[in-house]
Structure 1
């Protein structure tokens, strides 16, 4: 044993030299690869002028916290169709600001750009949001029945019930101080999570009253912030470096907390399936929910979803089904507060439709056209998902003749498209009549894309619209919404559109 150790020690200088040599060769190889890759990108994006960039940081240093939307809008004014944005010195993304360009990209069915979306994988797994190819198509086909008219109809009463709990909390809070503003996103996130738990998972939570799911809400809030921050941080793109960093450790802990919650939901339903039997359970239920359909889904060979696929879809829908809708409702309330004349007109329409009732029903949702137009106008100004990214599977030629090769990254900036003056007259003005039948028929097909478009559009968009209608109807029946001039929101594009300082509004109880 001693002789072996002596040989290792004697030869260690040679091993050290070999290791150093290999290390420097690896660094040199990587440098050459990055340089070559950058030259390819420079040639590819040559026909797309854009803002000046730093050779190492790209455009990152020009965008400060809380000003990203302003900066991207400023660049969109100068480059109204598209411009390259460099994340560091070696990764450009073509930012699309015009509906003609959006139509060209959405119409192709290109996969999500995993160079950015992969940062979500440790959290939501390979569910419908991240899947590509045949497996995505299979999951989309299996999950589509979960959003059928017959499935969505019973959800209205459940959403109204969750909204009512939130409104009762609001009444108690403003009773103590009528001039105190409330931060909307926090309250509405709990309400939409409560709704999704009841609707999609038949899980009777009391998250709005006893802080049962505060840990999950906090974890989702942290995860959306950390993923958005990681996209913008060059060193953190490396998985090993990120795991060793403080944000990386925070991310993994937040993932653990989020997974604890979704695993609990799945295990409870599986136990129920086992105790009752699949057929007996389905016969007892008044309506199937999203989780029922996941557990019962079978492909053409009779195979169901694996445990890994099942958790990925639950994690995906748990996040997307509550956080994006919370953003949509919160910003709609802000728009209502800023435009009291439209708020009052919605309230009058709602009261006329419901009569003596104080709870909205399924049939009411199609009888409130002006309220629906106001929601859509809010989604135009404040789209819950401000940008989506695709990776071109084949070369593309845009309407003006400019081209990009296979493999290029394209970000469809929904926020900028919704405010592009080429598609919208006076785009900064809140005008719900843009969405009248007549005006909608004349609009560019891809000027309004809050749920994306094409084959990879949002599968839950009808559920989201229904929830926004139910929540707004219930809120406007009970409260007048007023702005808080001391705390104007600062929109920031994380995974969903949020405000850097919250969305603070004053509420006045109606008699």
Structure 2
């Protein structure tokens, strides 16, 4: 009862503070102030909150309100629930300090997580999440059980139940990633044929050619190419055209309004403050003008989604598409599959189509662009591997100064390129971990008891970098994935490589992304050689951007040279 009254008082104080300070508050700075090591919550109240409230001066009143509010918010995070205390847990403050800073997942793994995993024989540990403490799985045997037994670990509905968040507004509440049971199966039945029929390698090639031409026109030309920036534009145009038949024109003009709207939304997703403190968007969005502006852009983006669906449906009704299936966009193929469903109950509504396409859009843009950026980096710093990959491309596509678009059959012949891609995805899987699963019943996972109702996640990055699992895990060795190599020798002992997940809930766009990567890498290897740009911050190893979720390189510039 006392704690409940304290909470009500603190919320009242915080609302008062927001009314007075809504135009000057810097939330990130405030969170950084709060994110200092605290001995206990009691000492925090005694030392900081109560003296300020007692004096009642305006400045100290504000400070007390802020401290009280945020200390209460982290209270549920700091203490590991009794039912989970048998599982090794990362130090809360060390983890949060890393997650809320500019520190990359590589440093967080090395300094905070791996020391804890030494005490976990099966790779299971606890880390903070926006919903409290999460059971993280970073061991091959436990990973296999988690990903293959979808009915025991269904998708967590926490994000769906927060429709006021920016992320939820983008992906919607009826998307194929978040759904479970028969409703998920209905979505999968419509989406599966679309992804099996769509493989627009001609589109990939045409946009890659345009991107390579832009290298020479912008900035310092090919001597200093901002690789992530160009690849973000390339993959945005790819997914816009391949998913919707919508041209963002990002390669032509990166500053146009369509690109600006989309980029503002993506930047909003990456803010760890709103990830770990979702109550800010739920209760206090009115006091955050910059965040409200991003939500307005999301409303604009939503209108674009629905208008595209309506226009596409009218186009299909009026004329028969002449394009071959492989080059049709996903929306066209999904609308065709929807129309072919004999039972109206098996068809998707416009809102369901919109939510699925938003997920495909999100998964197909940042993840693929970052995977390609990392692959180009590893080829830049490993010239012998780059030359070996180029030799294979020339054997498959021929050599010369002409532009050749690889077809699907030729992409399948690029075995060594595929090894390069797989090793890149091991070292830098686009997603740090999977979306949360929910443990439906008490369960023993690889010998560890997981109580009913626990949040569970596959920790992809940590498992891929665990020295107890991979030999010399920080080294770039594509031959790990050669026949008879390290990866093959692990077969049958669990799941060791899961950048796209696995099982029935494996990423539906995996083959789409892999084909896109093969087309771009092969075309660039045929036209250019490249190295790190002069004075690169990445000369001693790739520097990762901070935050949570998607992994990205920081300030990656490469120096290209034409082969002809």
**Structure 2: how far apart are the matches of 1:46 and 1:197?**
46
- Cα offset for 1:235? 4.7
Query: What residue number does 2:44 align with?
Result: none
Residues 301-310 or 374-383, more deviating:
301-310
Pairwise CA distance, 1:258: 2.8
2:97 pairs with 61, 64, 67, which one? 61
Cα displacement string for residues 305-337 of structure 1 (whole angstroms, at most 9, x for unaligned residues):
212112112222222222211111111111111
RMSD over aligned CA atoms reads 3.1
Task: Find the aligned partners of 1:272 and 1:408 in 2 and give their Cα distance.
Answer: 47
Aligned-partner Cα distance in 2 for 1:472–1:185: 14
Change (3 A) 1:114 1:208: same
Q: Determine the structure 2 residue equivalent to 1:130.
A: 178
Q: Could you list the per-position Cα deviations for residues 410-465 of structure 1 after superposition, in whole angstroms to 9, with x for gaps in the alignment?
A: 22211111111222100000000110122233224411001011221100100000
Q: Which of 422, 425, 430 is matched with 1:376 structurally?
A: 422
1-side partners of 2:222 and 2:207: how far apart? 23
Structure 1 unaligned regions, length at least 5:
1-20
State the secondary structure of the residue aligned to 2:144. helix
- Paired positions, count: 471
Find out whether 1:71 has 2:101 as its counterpart: no
2:537 corresponding residue in structure 1: 487
- Given candidates 437, 461, 474, the residue that maps to 2:510 is 461
**Aligned match of 2:525 in 468, 476, 481?**
476
Distance 1:432 1:107 in 2: 27
Quote the Cα distance in structure 2 between the aligned partners of 1:348 and 1:286.
32
SS of 1:411's equivalent in the other structure is strand
Residue aligned with 1:106, SS: helix
SS of equivalent to 2:169:
helix
SS in 2 for 1:377: helix
Cα 1:493/1:343, change in 2 over 3 Å: farther
How far 1:216 sits from its partner (Å)?
4.1
State the match for 2:380 in structure 1. Answer: 337
Deviation at 1:205, TM superposition (A): 5.5
Counterpart CA distance in 2 for 1:494 and 1:216 is 22
Out of 345, 361, 370, the residue aligned to residue 327 of structure 1 is 370
TM-score, normalised to structure 2, is 0.76
**Structure 2: how far apart are the matches of 1:234 and 1:204?**
33
Aligned to 2:557: 504
Q: Is the 8 A contact 1:386 1:414 kept in 2?
A: yes
Q: Cα deviations across residues 333-388 of structure 1 (Å, max 9, x unaligned)?
A: 11111211111111111012111463222211111111110011001101011111
Match of 1:83 among 125, 133, 158: 125
Shift of 1:34: 9.8
Contact 1:66 1:490 in 2 (8 A): no
TM, length-normalised to structure 1: 0.83
Change (3 A) 1:234 1:106: same
Q: Sort the Cα spacing of 1:132 and 1:34 in 2 relative to 1 into closer, same or farther, 3 A.
A: farther
Aligned CA distance change for structure 1 residues 296 and 74 (closer, same or farther; 3 Å): same
Alignment correspondent of 1:417: 463
- 2:177 and 2:359 in contact (8 A); partners too: yes
Aligned to 1:7: none
Aligned-partner Cα distance in 2 for 1:167–1:460: 25
Q: CA separation in 1, counterparts of 2:431 and 2:210? A: 27
Report how far residue 247 of structure 1 moved: 5.4
Tell me if structure 2 keeps the 8 A contact 1:191–1:208. yes
In 2: Cα distance, 1:85 partner to 1:383 partner: 19
**Residues 197-236 of structure 1 mapped to structure 2, 5 A cutoff:** 197-203=240-246, 206-211=249-254, 212=256, 213-226=258-271, 228-233=272-277, 235-236=279-280
Change (3 A) 1:322 1:52: closer
| Ranges in structure 2 where 5+ consecutive residues have no aligned partner | 12-68, 118-122
Shift of 1:98: 1.8
